[in-house]
Amino acid sequence: MNTEILSSTDLNIMRCASRLKAGELVAFPTETVYALGAIATDAQAVKKVYEVKSRPTDKPLIVAVAKKSDIQKVVKSIPKKAQILIDRFMPGALTLVLDRADVIPDEVTVGSESVAVRIPDNAVAKKLIELAGAPVVVPSANTADKASPTLAAHVKDDLDGKIEYILDGGASEIGIESTIVDARTEPPTVLRVGGVTVEQLKQAIGEVKTLRQDARLSGYMPNAEVLFSAYYDGMTENICKRYDEITAQQKTAVIICLDGNRDCYGDRNVYTVGDSYEAYAHNLFAVLRKADGEHYDAVIAEGVNPEGLGESLIARLIKLSGGMII
Ligand code: AMP
Ligand code: MG
């Protein structure tokens, strides 16, 4: 199969919607990461998603709809706090777990009576789902061993020959996955931290339960060993010291840092990720891919404050580093 990257013209979005309706898979942009879509009510199409991604078959898929009034078509009921979260954060990087409606097959939820639903805040994604006329599953469009894709080219690297079309919508704005909240519990439970922060959730609905932050993150691990620094005054010196120890052992290393700290690392290898936590999140998966592509033995990531998106970054970096905090 030839995999084509298509610009997001109306005609191409229509073409992709009709491929979805025919039971095929299409990759498309969302504001979190690129998604591998299939019609959620088509069990055969959903099965293909697991095959193409080599996704563990016990990991349920998130379902996306195009607008708020479509949520009630995939769930049995919407509790009051869920409705507040919908009004406040959708469309956006929030996924709610609710009781599933009968139209959602077991293949999507892996047999669970719940379903995870969100509305992407991306015009191409919304148009595609609207034209497909049905809810669409939206796992990240990578194979299980790769970082979530934030560019059409990343999708092509991973899924070339396995799907027909990738709709190109430029870089995913947020760059990390959605926050997942189980809205069936009281108080609601945060299952994964992502693009919407716990502070934002608390502002909207008061108390929330949180699980261990890294419990629900994806199975992706880069080839390079990832070291993640604690955030403190001596951080950049400590990172330099670690870097020099690693390279003294004839290994290669690269530091992931904010623009403002670039000069602290002299002529060591560095990937800069911008000047804010938003920019760090936006670029994280792309630089990890780059490190794999350039065959670095080690990646040393700067630590961040646990505020705002910093919390979501820390959760990912703890997971990626296997807890190796330096
Ligand atoms: P990914 O597609 O890699 O972003 O993973 C989707 C995430 O959503 C996984 O962590 C799933 O466990 C979670 N998820 C999807 N559906 C449900 C559900 N019905 N209940 C709880 N978690 C879910
Ligand atoms: Mg993923």
Render pLDDT for 266-284 as a digit per residue (tens, 0 to 9). 999 999 999 999 999 999 9
Longest dimension (CA), the chain: 60
The tokens for 18 are 């009709």
Q: Domains of the chain (ranges plus CATH)? A: 4-210 (3.90.870.10), 225-320 (3.40.50.11030)
Task: Please work out whether the CB of residue 229 comes within 6 Å of at least one atom of ligand 1.
Answer: no
- Determine the residue of 33, 46, 50, 59 to mutate for testing ligand 1's pocket, defined as the one with the most ligand atoms within 8 A of the Cβ atom: 59
Residue 219: what pLDDT?
67
**Pairwise CA distance, residues 153 & 160, whole Å:** 10
Cα–Cα distance list, 233 to 17, 236, 276, 277, 324 (Å): 51, 8, 18, 18, 19
Q: What is the pLDDT along the chain (326 residues), one digit of tens a residue?
A: 999 999 999 999 999 999 999 999 999 999 999 999 999 999 999 999 999 999 988 899 999 999 999 999 999 999 999 999 999 999 999 999 999 999 999 999 998 999 999 999 999 999 999 999 999 999 999 998 899 999 999 999 999 999 999 999 999 999 999 999 999 999 999 988 899 999 999 999 999 988 654 444 556 778 899 999 989 999 999 999 999 999 999 999 999 999 999 999 999 999 999 999 999 999 999 999 999 999 999 999 999 998 889 999 998 898 888 777 88
Residue 214: what pLDDT?
46
Give residue 176 CA to ligand 2 midpoint distance, Å: 9
Which residue has its alpha carbon closest to ligand 1 atom 13? 60
* Sole residue written with tokens 């490190």: 291
Give residue 217 CA to ligand 1 midpoint distance, Å: 9
Long-range CB contacts for residues 250-254, cutoff 8 Å, separation at least 24: 251/297, 251/298, 252/295, 252/296, 252/297, 252/298, 253/296, 253/297, 253/298, 253/299, 253/300, 254/224, 254/291, 254/294, 254/296, 254/298, 254/299, 254/300
| φ, ψ for residue 194, nearest 5 deg | -155, -135
Give residue 248 CA to ligand 2 midpoint distance, Å: 35
State what percent of residues in the chain have pLDDT above 70: 97
Spell out which residues have Cβ within 5 A of ligand 2, the ion: 140, 148, 218
Amino acid in position 13: I
* 207-261: pLDDT as tens digits: 998 865 444 455 677 889 999 998 999 999 999 999 999 999 999 999 999 999 9
Task: Please work out whether the CB of residue 8 comes within 6 Å of at least one atom of ligand 1.
Answer: no
pTM here is: 0.84
Q: Degrees (nearest 5) of the Cα angle 276, 279, 90?
A: 105
**Pairwise CA distance, residues 136 & 134, whole Å:** 6
Q: 97 forms bridges with which residues in the sheet?
A: 116, 182
Task: Please work out whether the CB of residue 190 comes within 6 Å of at least one atom of ligand 1.
Answer: no
